[in-house]
Structure 1
Amino acid sequence: MRKYIVSVIATVDGFFEGPGKDVMAMPFDDGFSRYNAELLRDAAAVVHGSRWFDGGAYWTRVQGDESEPAIEREIARLNVDLERLVISDSLRPDPAWPWAARTRIVPVAQGPEEVARLKQGDGGTIVSFGSATTWNALLAAGLVDELHVMIGPALLGDGTKLWSGPRRPLRLLDVRRLEDSQLVRLRYDASGA
């Protein structure tokens, strides 16, 4: 059975986006990309919400651009063959997407059932990056196995909260300061067990 891991960056005061949904307000550094590459090396599938999914256009451009940092080109290469599940009531498939052949879009109501089906597969993990509206509902449904929160050195005072669901128990598995980074990764068992 596959493990479903959600990885997200947050500020010390618990926001994953700044005011006006500004994701660039987050305290990104190179540790963020290196950690995401680490997760992708083990991944078989990625779960997205529609807001964070562009059909692969961004990563396809990065993969072919030698001026991009090596870690970003690695992330682009790691993304190429992964299965994609997009949970959305508004997004429609586009055959021109670079990842069109590996992407399924399902309505929000079917999202939990489809993630449960993905978890039944063999080999690799399932990951989500960002897409908090999507993973919040999947965590509330008991489908997220681990929540990895990278806390960065920022206080925004406003923005979008990391979690918007009901009270949910988490069990700390480990803490790691990412190498050459100001990010601290907290890894939680989110299964509720």
Structure 2
Amino acid sequence: MRTLTVAAFVSLDGVMQAPGGPEEDTSGGFRFGGWIVPYADQTTGQAVQDLFSLPFELLLGRRTYDIFAAYWPHASADSPHHTIADLFNGVPKHVATHRGDSLEWHNSHALPGNLVDAISALKRQDGPRLLTQGSGDLVRQLLAAGLVDELRLMIHPILLGRGKRLFDDNAQAAAFTLLSSISSPGGVLIARYTRSGEVRTGTFQGGGGR
């Protein structure tokens, strides 16, 4: 068995659309593409390096796959991101797509048949953890199916008001435990959560609100 980690850049109101650049995803008239760039510093950079420090295989939605495939194979050796490029170019990439014959990036594989069944089968295999970056539509399906074991969130101190969100009303109820958290000088909260069972409820006794 292996685990599935969702890593995401999010705003305070949960938007995850187009964090890296203006042209990344303008669907729906989104006009704030590149909103994480002003907050990038050594702390956030180290958090990204830490995320990729353990073995992983990528699990991607088609839109994110196409964005990555257009960039990472062409990253130059003197790029500041060349270490990540080497990792991404080498690891297996499992892609939610109906156009499997168009996956040209090295070591890319289309998920067969029903998406939830295919990812459940991947999780039952031995191997490194599955890691999802971006891929909002895919992530929302994973959350609805209860397949997410860990959340790695970088929560930025901005409200974007509109855009594609990490969570929707279909997410399966679950409790998570905060394993670690730090903040960057720019106010980015970097938090790691692992799934810890069912949601617990209770009531306050003794009229504490009187």
Aligned to 1:9: 9
Where 1:158 maps in the other structure, the secondary structure is: coil
Identity, % of aligned pairs? 27
Larger Rg: 2
Q: In the alignment, residue 94 of structure 1 is paired with which amino acid?
A: S
TM-score of the aligned structures, taking structure 2 as reference length: 0.75
Aligned to 1:78: 87
What stretches of structure 1 move > 6 A for 4+ residues in a row?
none
Show structure 2 runs of 5+ residues with no match.
19-27, 199-210
The higher relative CO (CA closer than 8 Å, separation ≥ 6) is in: 1
**Aligned length, in residue pairs:** 184
The answer to which structure has the higher strand fraction is 1
CA drift at 1:120:
2.0
What is the alpha-carbon distance in structure 1 between the residues aligned to residue 111 and residue 185 of structure 2? Answer: 39
Compute the RMSD of aligned alpha carbons: 2.6
TM-score of the aligned structures, taking structure 1 as reference length: 0.80
What is the alpha-carbon distance in structure 2 between the residues aligned to residue 147 and residue 117 of structure 1? Answer: 20
What is the alpha-carbon distance in structure 2 between the residues aligned to residue 23 and residue 3 of structure 1? Answer: 30
What's the CA shift string for 1:6-32, capped at 9, x where partnerless?
000111122112663454234651444
Show structure 1 runs of 5+ residues with no match.
none
What is the alpha-carbon distance in structure 2 between the residues aligned to residue 192 and residue 88 of structure 1? Answer: 31
Aligned to 2:102: 94
Mapping 1:1-193, distance limit 5 Å? 1-17=1-17, 20-21=29-30, 23-26=33-36, 29-30=40-41, 31-54=43-66, 56-62=69-75, 64-66=76-78, 68-69=79-80, 72-89=81-98, 91-94=99-102, 97-99=104-106, 102-106=107-111, 110-166=114-170, 168-177=173-182, 182-190=187-195, 192-193=197-198
Where 1:93 maps in the other structure, the secondary structure is: helix
